[in-house]
């Protein structure tokens, strides 16, 4: 089955550490997204990419950076993690021609910053 995968699934780190979250997809979709989800705040868009090397800031990009070096991969980096970046992070994909605006989500990465 074509899929969206995220690694790691769980990560505990300390304040000030650099963290990278990886997302891979076998759907052949051109668009990829990173969201974070916090209790009571819902899903918020961090960054999105509509093609290789295309990068766009979302609602809450401060403190994060991304890289889209290949169509199938979209990585999210926290250069210097802080406790309020503790959250559940989701990667998603979409493809306007194949499935319109529907987004397909990975299983999530639970990040805890101590």
Partner 1 sequence: RKEVEQDPGPFNVPEGATVAFNCTYSNSASQSFFWYRQDCRKEPKLLMSVYSSGNEDGRFTAQLNRASQYISLLIRDSKLSDSATYLCVVGGMNSGYSTLTFGKGTMLLVSP
- Please tell me whether residue 60 binds partner 1 under the rule CB under 8 A: no
Quick note: the x/- pattern for partner 1 over 7-46, rule CB under 8 A, is --------------------------x-x----xxxx-x-
> What are the tokens at 36?
């974070």
How far apart are the two ends of the chain, measured CA to CA in Å? 36
- Contact between 106 and partner 1 by CB under 8 A: the answer reads yes
Binding site for partner 1 (CB under 8 A): 33, 35, 40-43, 45, 48, 50, 56, 58, 88, 90, 96, 100-108, 110
């Amino acid at each position: 089955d074509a899929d969206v995968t995220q690694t790691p699934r769980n990560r505990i780190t300390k304040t000030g550490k650099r963290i990278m979250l990886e997302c891979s997809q076998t759907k052949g979709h051109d668009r990829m997204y990173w969201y974070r989800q916090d209790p009571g705040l819902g899903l918020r868009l961090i960054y999105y990419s509509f093609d290789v090397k295309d990068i766009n800031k979302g609602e809450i990009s401060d403190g994060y950076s991304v890289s889209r070096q290949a169509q199938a991969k979209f990585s999210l980096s926290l250069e210097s993690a802080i406790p309020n970046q503790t959250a559940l992070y989701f990667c998603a994909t979409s493809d306007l021609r194949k499935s319109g605006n529907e987004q397909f989500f990975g299983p999530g990465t639970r990040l805890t910053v101590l």
